[in-house]
Every structure is written in structure tokens, then in C-alpha cells.
Chains A and B, each alone.
Chain A
Amino acid sequence: GAGVSQSPSNKVTEKGKDVELRCDPISGHTALYWYRQSLGQGLEFLIYFQGNSAPDKSGLPSDRFSAERTGGSVSTLTIQRTQQEDSAVYLCASSLALGLTQETQYFGPGTRLLVL
């Protein structure tokens, strides 16, 4: 079946502009995660949605970052007033996340963001 998809695959923007990154999780997956990966670095957790519960926003680096998940499916990560240090690959993942049992997270291909 279809995996996690993300769009756009690449985004170049100017400092100060807002950007929106989209994630389509695997159908039926109730949990959705956003991570940031800077060049040659590890995966930095940003935000986590589980079903209809309030999202875990503990990883968002500043109030310029926000995310929403409409209808329990598609998610949008918004970065306002982008800065050069926001340049990174933004990865989305989804999982079944049944109750307290952690399930396998499947990653999308990522969006490469470059802020000039």
C-alpha cells in the first residue's frame, strides 16, 4: 500500500517568509510525528499527534513553529518568519500507536527546506 508522503520534496524560501509543509500518513495510522534533521545530524523530535488527543508540542524549538492535523489524517507543519537556521530536512512519520504500546514508525521521504 501507499506509504507516508510529504510535499513539497524541496522548498527554497527567503528569510522572513512563512512556509507550510504537508504530510499524508499511512491510511489508518492514528499517530503522526514530525522530526527535523539538520545536515549530518540526528533526528530531532518536534511534535506528535495521537488520535483526537491534544498534540505533544514539547519538541517545537520556538513559537514560530506550529502544526495541525485536520480530520485525524493530513498534517501541516508551519514555520513563520523563517530563519536560516531552520534549513533542514523535515521528516514526517506515522504509526498505529495502539494505546500505550509504541508501534513501528514509518517515515516519509522528507521535505528539504533551504532558507536563504
Chain B
Amino acid sequence: GENVEQHPSTLSVQEGDSAVIKCTYSDSASNYFPWYKQELGKRPQLIIDIRSNVGEKKDQRIAVTLNKTAKHFSLHITETQPEDSAVYFCAAGGGSQGNLIFGKGTKLSVKP
């Protein structure tokens, strides 16, 4: 089955700096890669997703890149702000399975 590895597990940056979180997946048939943000005590919320037919997608300060050959995808947050502090989860889905497999999460701390 699918396996998703996420790095780093924790990330601390200064306000205004960029943050990058990386994930790798094992199932080459996976075709959907969402990123979720989970603030403390709250539900995960989708912030951006990408499908396997594109290599990059941007939404304001957030971008996701996908390398299908290497089977990895990354989340890029530019001009980080304290409210970006949360746990971020990557996931992979589609292909041979109907559910999403999540990475273990990255705790991002943005210091003012």
C-alpha cells in the first residue's frame, strides 16, 4: 500500500522567512496530493492541493510542487506570519486506493 514520509517533523522560522516541507510517496499510481493545516485543538483544513497532471500550483503565499518521477512533493510558504504556526500534513491518494494516506505532520513555529 501507499506510504507517505514527511520531513521535517518540526520547523522553526523567523517571521518573514520562507518555510519548506517535503513529502515522499511510494505508490506511483497516486494522483492527488493535498496539504492540510491543523491549528491546536481544531480540525484539519485543506490549504492547497495538486493533481498529478501539473507540476506546480500557487495560492498567494502558498505553493506546492510535485515531482512525479521522484515521487515527492513540497509545500512552500513565503513571507511567513505568526498565524501560519500550526501542524501541516501532506497526503497522497487516488490511484489504487480510495482513501488518503497522511504524513506524520510538521509542526511549524513562526517566531515574531
User: Using a CB–CB distance below 8 Å, which chain A residues touch chain B?
Assistant: 31, 33, 35, 41-43, 45, 48, 50, 56, 58-59, 91, 97, 100-102, 104-110
Contact = CB atoms under 8 A, between A and B. Distances in A.
Interface of B: 1, 31-32, 34, 36, 42-46, 49, 89, 93-94, 97-105
Contacts of A48: 98-99
- SS class, residues of chain B in contact with chain A: loop
A5 B93 CA distance: 23
10 contacts: A33-B100, A42-B105, A45-B99, A45-B102, A59-B99, A91-B43, A97-B98, A100-B94, A102-B31, A107-B44
A50 B100 CA distance: 13
Q: SS class of chain A's interface: helix, strand, loop or mixed? A: loop
Given A91-B44, A102-B31, A107-B44, A42 B89 contact: yes
Contacts of A100: 94
Given A35-B102, A102-B93, A105-B34, 8 more contacts: A41-B104, A41-B105, A42-B105, A48-B98, A59-B99, A91-B44, A107-B43, A110-B43
B99 A104 contact: no
Given A43-B44, A45-B100, A102 B32 contact: yes
